[in-house]
Amino acid sequence: MDTQRPPLPPFTLETAVEKVRLAEDGWNSRNPERVALAYTVDSHWRNRAEFAQGRAEIIAFLTRKWARELDYRLIKELWAFRENRLAVRFAYEWHDDSGNWFRSYGNENWEFDGNGLMRRRLASINDAPIREADRRFHWPLGRRPDDHPGLGDLGF
């Protein structure tokens, strides 16, 4: 049986915001094995046009992603919530191995089981090329500092 990953549904505004920040922190670790533990063992994903099911496929997906998306920094923000579902918007900045910078924008729909593990993740994402001088996410790799502006503060 999977362990619990608080906060648990049904979500309140406070616990929904906390859940989103915990997910952001996990993804900013860029550790596929750690991130995969937030999902059910049979979790279903759609990420752009790619589909994954289960933790092994999630780990493989994230390993490929972070080998390609270098210096990845992500901000997530709660958009809406109800019971065991969250809608999230996000933006992240990264560069490829040729030094080309991008800002990727998107929306995710999340569904959780009773243990607080995500059993469904549906992500729609668009990439926008940016100049390095236009980057807005400058914190050291890892967790976004608490005093760093969020998406709304940055005008995204």
pLDDT tens digits, 56-111: 999 999 999 999 999 999 999 999 999 999 999 999 999 999 999 999 999 999 99
Output the six-digit token pair for 57: 């496929």
Gap between the Cα atoms of 78 and 87, Å rounded: 6
Per-residue pLDDT, averaged over 40-63, amounts to: 97
The pLDDT assigned to 2 comes to 61
Q: Evaluate if residue 1 carries a pLDDT over 70.
A: no
pLDDT tens digits, 107-151: 999 999 999 999 999 999 999 999 999 999 999 999 999 999 999
The pLDDT assigned to 38 comes to 97
Gap between the Cα atoms of 103 and 74, Å rounded: 10
CB atoms within 10 A of CB 118: 22
Per-residue pLDDT, averaged over 148-155, amounts to: 96
Only one residue has tokens 């550790």, namely: 31
For domain 13-137+150-154, the CATH architecture is Roll (3.10)
